């Protein structure tokens, strides 16, 4: 697929202070890892694999602690947004930035396997955005966040939004050092998603039910979904909103403002 050119590609750099900054590219692809892993459950393929996974997660936890200390020193609150692909993370962040960027220092790290499409959607004046391209890796890890932080101008930033790779499974295992983990599930998905993917919900500080404007059209059972979210994430604050219409957005913005 052809890459979408940046809107300013081929044009001279704008001197206008209102221009949105270019997306910063942080490519963390491993050149030796060009093929996807073979199908199958790696845990069953032997003790060595299990040991390796434990070491990877231990190393990740150390780096996550470093990130957390960095955020504390800088007075930054970092939020890690996780969900299936297509649950509306980027759209939620677009509207959130539209409402808050002029009021609070914000920055964004976006993770995807390839393309800077989401980062391009999030560009706006005064908001540094870095796109982390992971290649074959289906989650962000703490080391990738550290590389993204090194590339981002963070002066005056109070809220850092991290859009994880769309995946409801392994991002739950990778602490990024975030202060809040926000799990999204949309009214275009099954009401039982929270029951099918428990770790992503049981580890969330907040769960956002998105796209509530289409719930009726999708014959989505809101009460059933609410019950399932409560069962899978009894510890979490729950928001119901539409980033398209703005319904339910005030409570979400209040939550973010209170994180200051």
Query: Which residue number places its CB atom closest to Mg ion?
Result: 90
Residue 236: CB minimum distance to Mg ion, A: 21
84 binds, among Mg ion, Zn ion, none (CB under 5 to 8 A by kind): none
Tell me the window of 119-127, 167-175, 198-206, 249-257 that interacts with Zn ion (CB under 5 A). 167-175
- Binding-site ranges for Mg ion (CB under 5 A): 89-90, 118
CB of 85 to Zn ion, least distance (A): 13
Using rule CB under 5 A, residue 89 touches Zn ion: no
Residue in 221, 132, 139 with CA at minimum distance from that of residue 174: 139
Q: Diameter of the chain by CA atoms?
A: 58
Minimum gap (Å) between residue 139 Cβ and Zn ion: 3
Contacting Zn ion (CB under 5 A), which of 154, 170, 214, 253?
170
Q: Which does 118 bind (CB under 5 to 8 A by kind): Mg ion, Zn ion, none?
A: Mg ion
Mention every residue, 6+ apart, whose C-beta is less than 8 A from residue 225: 185, 187, 191, 194, 209
Is 138 one of the binding residues for Zn ion (CB under 5 A)? yes
Strand ordering across the sheet containing 237-240: 24-27, 129-133, 106-112, 159-163, 77-82, 180-186, 206-210, 237-240
In the chain the beta strands, taken as DSSP E runs, fall at 24-27, 77-82, 106-112, 129-133, 159-163, 180-186, 206-210, 237-240
Assess 253 for contact with Zn ion (CB under 5 A): no
Query: Looking at 55-63, 82-90, 165-173, 250-258, which segment touches Zn ion (CB under 5 A)?
Result: 165-173
Nearer to Mg ion by Cβ, of 120 and 228: the residue is: 120
Sign of torsion over alpha carbons 221, 164, 73, 104: negative
Three-state SS at 65: helix
Residues within the interface to Zn ion (CB under 5 A): 138-139, 170
């Amino acid at each position: 697929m052809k890459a979408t050119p940046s809107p300013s590609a081929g044009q001279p750099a704008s001197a206008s202070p209102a221009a949105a900054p270019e997306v910063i590219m942080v490519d963390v692809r491993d050149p030796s890892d060009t093929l996807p892993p073979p199908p199958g459950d790696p845990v069953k393929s032997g003790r060595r694999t299990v040991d390796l996974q434990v070491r990877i997660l231990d190393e990740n936890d150390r780096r996550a602690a470093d990130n957390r200390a960095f955020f504390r020193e800088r007075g930054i609150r970092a939020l890690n947004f996780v969900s299936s692909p297509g649950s509306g993370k980027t759209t939620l962040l677009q509207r959130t930035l539209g409402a808050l960027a002029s009021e609070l220092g914000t920055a964004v790290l976006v993770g995807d396997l390839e393309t800077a499409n989401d980062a391009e959607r999030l560009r706006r004046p005064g908001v540094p955005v870095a796109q982390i391209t992971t290649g074959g890796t289906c989650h962000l890890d703490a080391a990738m966040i550290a590389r993204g932080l090194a590339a981002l101008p963070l002066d005056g930033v109070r809220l850092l939004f991290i859009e994880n790779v769309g995946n409801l499974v392994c991002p739950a295992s990778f602490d990024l050092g975030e202060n809040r983990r926000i799990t999204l599930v949309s009214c275009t998905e099954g009401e039982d998603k929270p029951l099918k993917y428990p770790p992503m919900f049981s580890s969330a500080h907040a769960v956002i039910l998105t796209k509530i404007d289409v719930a009726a059209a999708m014959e989505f059972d809101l009460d059933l979904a609410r019950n399932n979210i409560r069962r899978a994430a009894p510890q979490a604050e729950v928001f119901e909103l539409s980033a398209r219409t703005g319904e339910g957005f005030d409570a979400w913005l209040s939550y973010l403002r209170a994180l200051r």
